[in-house]
Amino acid sequence: MQLFSIFAVYFIVWWITLFAILPIGLRTQAEDDHVVPGTVESAPTRFQAKKVLLLTTLVSAVLYGTWYLCSVYLGFGLDSLPRFVPKFD
């Protein structure tokens, strides 16, 4: 696998994981009963960017490592998945 492809796939996995990790541990202003005037109630009270980025990096590294292990060393790929639609020749 080329180096650019490795970084491209990792970036896609990281980006998708970021949106899955963002709501974890989030406290809104409505939950804390402290809504700042001019903001919506669903705005976060304290956004912990370092924690989110670190957790995203760790989870995406595990996911990417598992995918890389399965695809390169074990030989699994998209062709290994079962087909649920008929193949028309």
Please report the DSSP string for 14-27 in residue order.
HHHHHHHHTTTT--
Question: Helices 3-21 and 49-68, interaxial angle, to 10°?
Answer: 130
Q: What SS3 state is found at 50?
A: helix
Q: What SS3 state is found at 59?
A: helix
Q: Give me the mean pLDDT over the 71-81 stretch.
A: 79
Q: Is the pLDDT of residue 62 over 80?
A: yes
- pLDDT band of residue 12 (cuts 50, 70, 90) is very high
pLDDT at 1: 62
**Spatial distance between the Cα atoms of 62 and 14, rounded to a whole number of angstroms:** 10
Which one has a higher pLDDT value, 54 or 27? 54
What pTM did the predictor assign? 0.75
